[in-house]
Amino acid sequence: MRGPSIEEMKLAIGALFLGEGMEKMKEEQMLGAISIKRRWFDPKKAEIMIKNAKSMGLLENDGDYLRPSFDYKETEVPFGYYPPEELAELYTIPPKDRLIRELSMSEEELKQALSMDYNLYDEVKIVLWAAMNGRKYSEFLDDLENWIINGFIV
């Protein structure tokens, strides 16, 4: 499944944070706001929506909290807004695509990374390239381990 558009998810996350009047929230607070307070989705689907927003790079960790990675205060929320169901459907951005996007790699940089003479997954090569070229990469190490252990990398 391709999943929801980034713009649609930005609108939902912006509406959530604006509505709560908070700049950051614990995941449990977000779950309650989405499922109980706003009644957008049931708790399981609210959890999926949050996971999707994280995968899209729209929520980032701030200690024990999550906060939008974009200027949500600029979000224009239509009156009576209710997010589309697709925001809470399970999907994943392929790990390789996520790394390329989050590291803001050019085509040339990606070619350099993938041409490394190691018998490794492309995702591992990209993280190694980032480390060797002074890019922030440590935030991907846990994800990389999870992707490998759970077979998300093919």
Domain shared by 68 and 118, yes or no: no
Residue 154, domain member (yes or no): no
Domain count, the chain: 2
Question: Which alpha helices (DSSP H) does 21-154 contain, by range?
Answer: 27-32, 43-55, 95-102, 107-114, 122-132, 141-149
pLDDT value for 154: 46
pLDDT value for 91: 64
pLDDT value for 36: 95
Domain shared by 17 and 68, yes or no: yes
Domain shared by 42 and 75, yes or no: yes
**10-residue averages of pLDDT along the chain (154 residues):** 73 96 96 96 94 86 92 94 88 74 86 89 88 79 69 54
pLDDT value for 67: 95
Question: Contact at 8 Å (CB) between 84 and 4?
Answer: yes
Domain shared by 49 and 17, yes or no: yes
State which residues form the domain around 125. 95-149
d(C-alpha 55, C-alpha 94), whole Å = 9
pLDDT value for 3: 57
C-alpha pair distances (Å), 9 with each of 3, 6, 119: 10, 5, 37
Helix (H) or strand (E) holding 60: strand 59-62
Q: List the one residue out of 86, 78, 72, 63 whose CA is nearest residue 16.
A: 72
Domain shared by 69 and 12, yes or no: yes
Domain shared by 82 and 104, yes or no: no
d(C-alpha 144, C-alpha 4), whole Å = 23
Domain shared by 100 and 84, yes or no: no
d(C-alpha 147, C-alpha 143), whole Å = 6
pTM of the entire structure?
A: 0.61
The residue whose two tokens read 């846990």 is 142
